[in-house]
Amino acid sequence: MRKLLPSVVEAIGETPLVDLERLVRAHGLTGHIYAKLEYLNPGYSKKDRIALQIIEEAERSGALKPGQTVVELTSGNTGTGLAIVCAVKGYKFVAVMSKGNSPERARMMRALGAEVVLVDQAPGSPAGQVSGEDLALVEQETERIVQERGAFRADQFNNDANVRAHELHTGEEMWAQAEGKIDAYVDFAGTGGTFAGCALALKRHNPAVRCYVVEPATAAHLAGRPVTNPNHRIQGGGYNMDLPLLEKELVDGYLAVSDEEAMAAARELARLEGIFAGFSSGANVAAALKLLRGPERWSTVALTINDSGLKYLSTDLYL
Catalytic residues: 47, 280
Over its C-alpha atoms, the chain yields an Rg (Å, rounded) of: 18
Q: Please name which of 304, 277, 188 lies closest in space to residue 239, comparing C-alpha atoms.
A: 188
CA distance 148 to 184: 45
Please give the distance of CA 236 from its chain centroid, rounded to a whole number: 7
For residue 296, give the amino acid letter. E
Q: Determine the Cα angle at 257 with ends 251 and 260, to 5°.
A: 165
Phi and psi at residue 8, to the nearest 5°: -70, -20
CA–CA–CA angle 268, 275, 112 (5° rounding): 130
Best CA proximity match to 72, nearest among 147, 132, 152: 152
How far are the Cα atoms of 26, 122, 238, 264 from residue 15, in angstroms, in the given order?
25, 37, 25, 24
